[in-house]
Amino acid sequence: MVELSAYEQGLLSGRYGKAKQTAMRVIERAAQVSGAPHLIEISMAHVNSCFYSGEAGVEFAEFLVREGAELAVPTLTNTGLIDLLHPELRSKPKDKHVVEGARKLMGLYEKLGCEVVWTCAPYQLRERPSLGDHIVGSESNAVSFYNSALGARTNKYGDFLDICAAITGRVPYAGLHTDEGRRGDILFDLSNVPERLKQEDIFYHVIGIVMGQESGVLTPVLTGLPFSTTEDQLKAISAAGAASGGVEMFHAIGVTLEAPDMNSAFQDRDPLKIINVTAQMLTRARDMLSHADSGKLAAVCLGTPHFSVTEFEQLMPLIKGRCIHTDMNLFISTSRFIVEEIKMRGWLQSIEDAGIRLVTDTCTYFTPVMNGVEGRVMTNSAKWAYYAPGMLDIEVVFGSLEECVESAISGEVRRDATLWDKEFWGAT
C-alpha cells in the first residue's frame, strides 16, 4: 500500500483535472510495482517522451494538451528525432511521415510548457541540480551523469512515466532516490592501467564499455581514476556504461561527490565482486567498437552525448586554417545553447569555414540525419560506436578526437600509431 498525502489523493481523485489524475494513476502504479512506501517531491525533470517512437506518443501528448495539463516542475526536453534548425538534414521523402510525426510531437511538448532545450546533455546547462536533489531523468547518459557526477537522485524514467512525474511533481521513493539504493556493488580496480593511458580521453570511453559489460544493472565503483578527471570524461563513462550495460550510477573514489573513500561508496560493506582491470580487457573493448582500421570514410560523427564548450575548445586548434575533405561530412551534434556559447566566443565562423556541419536537437545515429550516408563512419564516442551499427547500414571506426579530425581532413582513416601501440595500453 502506497501512502499518499492529501494533495496526492486529490490528484488521484480528479480534483485537479483529468490530465493530472491520469498522471497520478501512472505514478501510483509505478510506486506499487517498485515497492515504494510513499512518493517524494522532485525539483526538475528531463523527459524523453518528446522523442518520436510512434503515434502512441503523439496521442498521449495530444491528450495532455487537450486536457490542459500543467507542469509541476521545470521540465527540460531530451533530443527529438529531427533537427528543427537544419531542415536540410532531416530525411529522404520515404520517411516524410516520421519527420512530420516528430515535428508534431516536439511542438506538443513545447505547448505543454517544457523548456525546449532538445539535448541529451542537460547537465551542460548553467542551472542544474545539486547534491541530494530528487529529480527525474530519462536519457541513459544523463541519468548516470546526474547521479554520479552531480549527486542528484533519479531512477531512469521511461516514456510517459517521465512526463507524468513532471506533471504531478512526484516520483516513487525507491531505487536511486534512497540511500541504500545508491550503495556500490562491484569494484573496478584500475591500479594496473598505465597512468599515461588515463591521460587520454579515449580511455574514459573504453573503461565505460568495460564497466557496463561487467556490471549489468549493478552499481560499479571505480578506484584509480585521476583526481583531475573532467566532466567530459565522466560524461564519456556515463554514456558508454549506460550503453553497454544498465548502469544508472557509478562511483569513482576521490572523484565523484558521494565517494570520497571506499567506505562511503560501499556504505561500509564489502563489494560483491572485485575486477582488476587489465590491458587485455581494455583493448578487447576498444577493438569491438571498430569494424575497420583503415580505408576511405563517408563521414565523421562527433558529439554523442552532445559536444560541450570544452570539447569545442579542444577542437579549435585542430581545425585552424584547415578544411574537411570535399568527399565527406564531419557532423558535430550539440545543443542550441552550446551553439550560442561558441558563437559568443567567436568560434562558429571558423567551424563553418572548415566545412563542419553542426547538428542540433537530435543525434546523428538517428536515421533522418544520416540518410544517404553509406560506408565507413568514424567517431570518438563509444556510445555512438556501440549503437550506430544496429541503426544504420554502416561500418564504424572508433578513434580519438585528433584521429577523427585528421581522418575527416584526409578523407580516410588516419591513426596515431603511438596511441594504438600495445605498450601504451600496458599490453605485452
Q: State the burial class of residue 264 (Cβ atoms within 10 Å of its Cβ: 0-12, 13-18, 19+).
A: middle
**What is the phi-psi region of residue 210: left when phi exceeds 0, alpha when psi lies from -120 to 50, beta otherwise?**
alpha
Residue 56, C-alpha cell as written in the block: 502512441
DSSP 368-388: HHHTT--EEEEES-HHHHHHG
Q: Give pLDDT tens digits for 412-427.
A: 999 999 999 988 998 7
CATH H superfamily, domain 299-421: Aconitase, domain 3 (3.30.499.10)
Q: What is the pTM of this model?
A: 0.96
- The Cα–Cα gap between 323 and 141 comes to 31
Q: Is 252 helix (H, G, I), strand (E, B) or coil?
A: strand
Q: Give pLDDT tens digits for 52-83.
A: 999 999 999 999 999 999 999 999 999 999 99
Amino acid at 245: G
Over residues 153-165, the mean pLDDT reads 98
Q: Give pLDDT tens digits for 312-340.
A: 999 999 999 999 999 999 999 999 999 99
pLDDT band at 97; cut points 50, 70, 90: confident
Residue owning grid cell 536515421: 367
Asked whether 52 and 101 are in contact (CB, 8 A), the reply is: yes
- The Cα–Cα gap between 203 and 398 comes to 12
Asked whether 394 and 375 are in contact (CB, 8 A), the reply is: yes
- The Cα–Cα gap between 304 and 294 comes to 22
In what helix (H) or strand (E) does residue 353 lie, and over which residues does it extend? helix 348-353
* Mean pLDDT, the chain, integer: 95
- The Cα–Cα gap between 227 and 271 comes to 22
Over residues 230-245, the mean pLDDT reads 98
- The Cα–Cα gap between 378 and 289 comes to 10
Alpha helices in 152-222 (DSSP H): 161-168, 195-198, 201-215
pLDDT at residue 318, as a whole number: 98
pLDDT band at 391; cut points 50, 70, 90: confident
pLDDT band at 393; cut points 50, 70, 90: confident
Model confidence at 90: pLDDT above 70? no
- As annotated, the residues of the chain forming the CATH 3.30.499.10 domain(s) are 6-178, 299-421
- The Cα–Cα gap between 255 and 5 comes to 38
pLDDT at residue 293, as a whole number: 86
pLDDT at residue 91, as a whole number: 53
Over residues 273-295, the mean pLDDT reads 94
Alpha helices in 245-325 (DSSP H): 262-266, 279-288, 309-319
- The Cα–Cα gap between 150 and 148 comes to 6
Q: Is the four-CA dihedral 97, 334, 112, 4 of positive or negative sign?
A: positive
Q: How many CA atoms lie within 13 A of 242 on its CB side?
A: 28
Q: Is the domain covering 6-178 a CATH 3.30.499.10 domain? A: yes
Cis bond before residue 37 (omega within 30° of 0): no
Asked whether 57 and 22 are in contact (CB, 8 A), the reply is: no
Residue owning grid cell 516524410: 96
Asked whether 234 and 149 are in contact (CB, 8 A), the reply is: yes
Model confidence at 92: pLDDT above 60? no
Q: State the burial class of residue 90 (Cβ atoms within 10 Å of its Cβ: 0-12, 13-18, 19+).
A: buried
Angle, CA 135 vertex, CA 183 and CA 181 arms, to 5° = 15
Q: Which of 19-33, 93-107, 197-211, 263-277 has the lowest mean pLDDT?
A: 93-107
Model confidence at 148: pLDDT above 90? yes
Strands (E), 26-68: 39-41, 45-47
pLDDT band at 365; cut points 50, 70, 90: confident
pLDDT at residue 428, as a whole number: 61
- The Cα–Cα gap between 18 and 25 comes to 10
Q: How many CA atoms lie within 13 A of 414 on its CB side?
A: 13
pLDDT at residue 374, as a whole number: 83
Over residues 355-383, the mean pLDDT reads 89
Q: Is 334 helix (H, G, I), strand (E, B) or coil?
A: strand
Which residue(s) pair with 273 in the sheet? 186
In what helix (H) or strand (E) does residue 251 lie, and over which residues does it extend? strand 251-252
- The Cα–Cα gap between 146 and 140 comes to 10
Q: Which of 85-89, 242-246, 293-297, 416-420 has the lowest mean pLDDT?
A: 85-89
Model confidence at 366: pLDDT above 90? no
- The Cα–Cα gap between 13 and 72 comes to 17
- The Cα–Cα gap between 148 and 141 comes to 10
pLDDT at residue 48, as a whole number: 98
